[in-house]
Amino acid sequence: DALVITMCPPPPTRYFGFSTYVWRRQSRVVSATCANNPLNSRTMRGGYPAFDQPTVLVSTGDLATFDAVSTAFLAAGVPVTALNLEQLAVDRVSFGRSILDRADDLTFSFRVYDANAREYAKQTWTSVMLLRSPRGGGRSLQPLVAITATPPSPKRGIPVNELRLEMAASFLQTSVENKVIAAGFRVTTRASSMAPVDVDRDKCLATGNYSPFRVGGARDVNIQSGCFGETRDCTYTMSPESIAGDKPFLALFTGADSVKLGNAAFANLAAYHTGGALSLVSAAAVRVAAFADHRMWRREDENNLFAHAFASPGLCRVFDDDPDVSCVEVAPAPFNDLFFIGRAYLDPSTGTAPNAEELLPVTVTYFAPE
């Protein structure tokens, strides 16, 4: 069988990408990508940018199925460049071999960067049609011609190695920290780096207690969904600590603007409420409390650095006279903690996630009013 989607990609934008996930295996939610290849605005068969042209996306682990679907669309006059294959990994997806061996439940995500919309807006996609293969689709069937996994492309250096900016970023961090302290704040947690989230997708599917996002500021959140819906063309970082979400605070982030440097298609920071006492049981109550992306980072200097803050209502006033430091207010949530996740999507030179080893770690410092 295959999931087949026909669509026109969005108008010119920095990024869009497709991902099929194993949402649930048996009774366990894993939310892990199950394809061998990232499929996005850089890797589309029609070339980049693949905007405003007919596109057919076929997600399958069976090469014979892909050939049959392709033949049908070619006969209908669809150009061959419109046909895109997402290779489902047959060794990582359970298609079910018996009544007792239940097939995985799959789900699908389409992400798009929209410069004119809320970064985290979610929309329901109602134009979905599921068809059963004429072969019968019995659970005992295996792919007729299994797709051989495409070997991962070798790591390539990103356009600009950001680690050389460490000293300049440290100077910026100290400068803005002094400004915040002079405005009547005290440091509650000294500067520390956002830590990269290292995801082992095979472990997500095979190991029941593996949860790579349950680290740092989210270490006490019972994230049962394994890989938390991550995607292959994004690098994730996690705040080292969480803070009380119902007490006045200011969190200062400094780092390199990876988009201006050409190392990412877009980047963002998001503040999350843990969900209170429910977080000890599940991550179902985790909510985005506030977010910011690279469009807000207006600092102009030769190093392409940024400084951004999240703060309790009324505390962004510290930066009223400093347009180079963007600030977003976070509404308080009783009995909730806050943690932060950073994302850098799509290395434009490879079509995959930016290499975390070459990105300058974002630094975060927490303050409270005196």
Q: Which of 213, 247, 255, 203 is nearest to 22 (CA)?
A: 203
The model's pTM: 0.84
Residue 294 Cα distances to 13, 120, 195, 210, angstroms: 14, 14, 19, 31
Divide the 370 residues of the chain into consecutive groups of 10 and give the mean pLDDT of each group.
82 82 81 84 69 82 88 92 86 71 81 63 51 44 51 54 93 96 96 90 80 82 72 92 93 95 92 75 72 88 93 96 94 91 90 89 96
Other beta carbons within 10 angstroms of residue 139's beta carbon come to: 13
Instruction: With beta carbons less than 8 A apart as the criterion, state whether 57 and 18 touch.
Output: yes
- Rg of the chain on CA atoms, in Å: 22
Report how far residue 16's alpha carbon sits from residue 361's, in angstroms, rounded to the nearest whole number. Answer: 25
Tokens encoding 230? 């991550």
Predicted pLDDT at 161:
83
Separation between Cα atoms, residue 58 and residue 154, nearest integer Å: 25
The Cβ of residue 97 has, within 10 Å, a number of other Cβ atoms equal to 14
- Cα angle, residue 96 at apex, residues 93 and 98 outer, rounded to 5°: 160
Looking at residue 178, what is its pLDDT? 97
Number of Cβ atoms within 10 Å of the Cβ of 195: 18
- Asked if 237 and 197 count as a contact pair (C-beta separation under 8 A), the reply is yes
Predicted pLDDT at 98:
59
325/214 Cα distance (integer angstroms): 30
Cα 95 to chain centroid distance, Å, stands at: 26
Q: Which two tokens stand for residue 157?
A: 């250096």
**3-state secondary structure string across 23-68:** EEECCEEEEEECECCCEECCCCCCCCCCCCCCEEEEEECEHHHHHH
Report the distance separating Cα 237 and Cα 342, nearest Å: 5
Q: What is the rounded distance in angstroms from the CA atom of residue 327 to the CA atom of residue 311?
A: 7
Residue 353 CA to residue 233 CA, distance in Å, equals: 4
DSSP string over 293-351: EGGG----STT-EEEEEEESTTGGGGGTT-TTEEEEE----TT-EEEEEEEEE--TTTS
Whether the ω angle into residue 159 lies within 30 degrees of 0, i.e. cis, is no
Question: For position 308, what pLDDT does the model report?
Answer: 97
Interior CA angle at 45 toward 8 and 200, to 5°? 100
Contacts of 156 (CB under 8 A, 6+ apart): 349, 350, 355
